[in-house]
Amino acid sequence: MRQRGFTIVELAVTIAVLALILAMAMPSIGTWMDNSRIRNATESLQNGLLAARSEAIRRNQNISFFLVSLNDPSAMDNSCALSTESGSWVISVTSPAGKCASAASTTDAPMIVETRAAGDGGGGVKVTADNSSVTFNSFGRVVSAAASSITQIDVTGVRDGTRYRNLRVNLTTSGAVRMCDPSVPSTATPTSASSSTAT
């Protein structure tokens, strides 16, 4: 009995079909990965704001959340500066500009509580905030006026012409932090407009 395997023609056709399927799937896979990065970065920012608020209540003192830019987005170092266009953040009592690599401390300035570099799972996105910092008081409320505090952070994809599922973090003066999809009208149901709410 003669054994029969694949002919070169059959193998070539199979490879061509697989290549075609892969070529059609690649754009959607790339967009899915970008959307995952957008969600990771947004959740990191939301969690940072909530952590700053909780720490202010726990310590019974003003605690601030700062957005900072870094020379290397994956490493928190002293090159940092306050920014409205970065996903890296620092929770501290005073401004961490130029001191982001300092160890956590309750006595040494800037009295850092926690830090997060944007490169830790949330890189490859565009972050735009209306301000670079916000301060919470011991009641978890925003201390400074809205004109000088973060009230909104938008996280979007970086490639032009791609339809992303962009996300936004909103912060109210009462200290409520909410993540939502800015493309969903505010009159929509709460579950479609907001993916997470904390007060």
The pLDDT tens digits for 99-138 are: 999 999 999 999 999 999 988 665 689 999 999 999 999 9
**Helix (H, G, I), strand (E, B), or coil: what is residue 28?**
helix
% residues pLDDT > 70 (the chain): 85
Give me the pLDDT at residue 198, please: 45
How many C-beta atoms lie closer than 10 Å to residue 118's C-beta?
Answer: 25
Q: Please work out, in degrees rounded to the nearest 5, the angle formed at the alpha carbon of residue 92 by the alpha carbons of 146 and 53.
A: 55
The H-or-E segment that residue 198 falls in is strand 194-198
pLDDT digits (tens, 9 = 90+) for 150-185: 999 999 988 877 788 999 999 999 999 999 999 887
How many C-beta atoms lie closer than 10 Å to residue 60's C-beta?
Answer: 9
Q: Which residue has the higher pLDDT, 78 or 73?
A: 78
Rounded average pLDDT over 43-48: 96
33/40 Cα distance (integer angstroms): 11
DSSP summary character for residue 103: P
121/118 Cα distance (integer angstroms): 7
70/6 Cα distance (integer angstroms): 55
